[in-house]
Amino acid sequence: MKTNRFWSWLFLLLGVAYFVFPLIGTFEFSLKMRRGAYSFDAYRTVLTDPQFQATFGYSVTMALATIVMGVVLVVPPPFLFCTFSSLPSPPPTPPPFPSPPPFRSVIVFGYIRIYTPPSILPLTGTWWGTNLLLLFGYATLALPYMYRSVDTGLRSIDIATLTEAAQSLGAGWITIMTRVILPNVLVAVLSGAFLTFAIVIGEFTMAALLNRPAFGPYLQLIGANRAYEPAALAVIAFGITWLCMGLIQLVSRFSKLPNAGR
């Protein structure tokens, strides 16, 4: 068992080294803007850049809209199958999606070909239409994650039993929805939402191809033209991703109570 443990630590340390060096390297690099001394100049330049504020605001708005759209699209199907199905056993929800097909450029290519003006639905013709199209594109990215988390959320609670128990105690439909089922699904929806946020905020391909002023294309522009600011932006982006994952951990900690057996 001794040698066993030695190898474990070795693998772990090598892994940690691989993952930590780029983070330290980026952080250190982002501090080197002023010659000869460490400073936060790069961060100051980035954060006060009006273009940063504009693109970041745009991407945050898009991310929030994507989350709303994902919830509207994804929550009803498994939810209604669960609640309105008369089957006593867990309902036959469709199997979880595989991981998202990562061909964003392919999908957007299809969009551009279908929805440019000489078409039935000329979405790329107008400012609103293009934003809407980008929103739909983001929604296709978010769907698998959203669906999976909501589906597991619904599966981990036994809806039929909970509903019957609530009814035995005299609860009506509204009470059951708001006080039994929604709190359980809410955690799943929230974790899906944070994941969606993390994905959408730095998305480059779709926004660039549809020519939207999003955060991703801005990052690319800065990366091509500046030296130290990109590192600062990478640190910020990593911080946002980390924050989203931390929030997922936090909300899923609340869900540990009802299904502790799992």
Q: Scanning residues 73 to 112, which ones bind other proteins (CB under 8 A)?
A: 73-74, 76-77, 79-81, 83-88, 98-99, 101-112
| Piece of 45-53, 58-66, 150-158, 218-226 that binds other proteins (CB under 8 A) | 218-226
Nearer to other proteins, 5 or 48 (CB): 5
Q: Which is nearer to other proteins, 53 or 249 (CB)?
A: 249
Q: Which of residues 152-171 bind other proteins (CB under 8 A)?
A: 163-164, 167-168, 170
The angle at the Cα of 93, spanning 163 to 159, to the nearest 5 degrees, equals 10
Say how far apart CA 82 and CA 222 lie, in whole Å.
48
Look at phi and psi of residue 36 and say left if phi exceeds 0, alpha if psi is from -120 to 50, else beta.
Answer: left
Query: Quick one: 13 or 54, whose CB is closer to other proteins?
Result: 13
Stretch that binds other proteins, among 45-53, 56-64, 149-157, 214-222 (CB under 8 A): 214-222
Give long-range contacts, CB 8 A cutoff, 24+ apart: 42-50: 42/228, 42/229, 42/231, 42/232, 43/232, 43/236, 45/229, 45/232, 46/222, 46/229, 46/232, 46/233, 46/236
- Indicate which single residue of 11, 68, 165, 183 sits in contact with other proteins (rule: CB under 8 A): 11
Residue 22 contacts other proteins per CB under 8 A: yes
Which residues from 26-45 bind other proteins, rule CB under 8 A?
26, 28-30
Q: Which of 124, 131, 137, 142 binds other proteins (CB under 8 A)?
A: 137
C-alpha span between 241 and 227 (Å, rounded): 23
Q: Identify the CA nearest to 197 among candidates 106, 48, 15, 71.
A: 71
> How many residues are listed for the chain in this entry?
262
- Minimum distance between the CB of residue 48 and other proteins, rounded to whole angstroms? 19
Q: Using the rule CB under 8 A, give the single segment among 12-20, 58-66, 148-156, 179-187 that binds other proteins.
A: 12-20
Residue count at the site for other proteins (CB under 8 A)? 89
Q: Tokens in use for 206?
A: 């779709």
